[in-house]
């Protein structure tokens, strides 16, 4: 549920960009790992390869939570992220009959749009990122995408669990 929200988890090129070697603020990594670890670490104020402590992780999750609550950056978007989830309506694209496939496809399409729009959008093709430093301007542009997708992932996971246990998303 959460993994599909990260753009390179929906990409076939270079095995999800695992085959694209880059540096992130001088740290050698691959493009996929940069999106999964280095950029989120940067958001949390950590070095590219350091694992966040429980305290740092909790602070980051609290920031994401605040961003989806009333008055937060994404508060007005939350209902649209889960609005069609009505398992009691056979006409809903998210009915119990096709929930898993419809949801997975929708999430993958949304995530993959960021691959095309940003993550691997170099006009010279995705291989142009090989050997490049992506910690500066590229990272700055990726941060809002990573934050948005992590917020969506959290809301959608919570909504899915609510749906399973309570029969409604709670949003």
Q: What is the pLDDT of residue 88?
A: 52
Q: What is the pLDDT of residue 14?
A: 87
Q: Say if residues 142 and 42 touch (Cβ distance below 8 Å).
A: no
Q: Which two tokens stand for residue 62?
A: 């609290």
* Whole-angstrom distance, CA of residue 118 vs CA of residue 132: 15
Q: What is the pLDDT of residue 162?
A: 86
Q: What is the pLDDT of residue 32?
A: 95
Which positions ≥6 away from 135 have C-beta within 8 Å? 23, 24, 25, 26, 38, 42, 48
* Whole-angstrom distance, CA of residue 147 vs CA of residue 153: 10
Q: What is the pLDDT of residue 69?
A: 95
* Whole-angstrom distance, CA of residue 101 vs CA of residue 113: 18
CATH assignment, 3-166: 1.10.575.10
* Whole-angstrom distance, CA of residue 138 vs CA of residue 122: 11
Q: What is the pLDDT of residue 92?
A: 53
Alpha-helix runs per DSSP H in 44-136: 54-68, 78-82, 99-114
Q: What is the pLDDT of residue 1?
A: 66
* Whole-angstrom distance, CA of residue 88 vs CA of residue 77: 23
Which H/E stretch holds residue 147? helix 137-166
Q: What is the pLDDT of residue 87?
A: 53
* Whole-angstrom distance, CA of residue 71 vs CA of residue 76: 8
Q: Say if residues 151 and 2 touch (Cβ distance below 8 Å).
A: no
* Whole-angstrom distance, CA of residue 110 vs CA of residue 60: 23
DSSP state, 108? Answer: H
Q: Where are the domains of the chain?
A: 3-166
pLDDT along the chain (171 residues), means of 10: 85 91 95 94 86 88 95 93 63 54 82 94 95 96 96 90 82 79
């Amino acid at each position: 549920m959460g993994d599909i929200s990260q753009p390179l988890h929906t990409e076939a090129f270079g095995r999800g960009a695992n085959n694209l070697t880059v540096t992130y603020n001088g740290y050698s990594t691959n493009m996929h790992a940069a999106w999964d670890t280095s950029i989120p670490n940067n958001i949390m104020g950590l070095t590219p390869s350091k694992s966040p402590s429980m305290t740092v992780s909790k602070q980051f999750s609290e920031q994401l939570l605040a961003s989806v609550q009333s008055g937060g950056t994404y508060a007005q978007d939350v209902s649209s992220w889960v609005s069609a989830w009505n398992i009691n309506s056979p006409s809903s694209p998210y009915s119990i009959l096709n929930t898993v496939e419809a949801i997975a496809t929708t999430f993958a399409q949304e995530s993959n749009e960021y691959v095309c729009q940003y993550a691997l959008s170099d006009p010279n093709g995705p291989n142009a990122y090989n050997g490049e430093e992506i910690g500066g301007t590229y990272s700055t542009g990726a941060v809002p995408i990573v934050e948005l997708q992590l917020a969506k992932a959290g809301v959608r996971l919570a909504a899915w669990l609510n749906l399973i246990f309570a029969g409604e998303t709670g949003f």
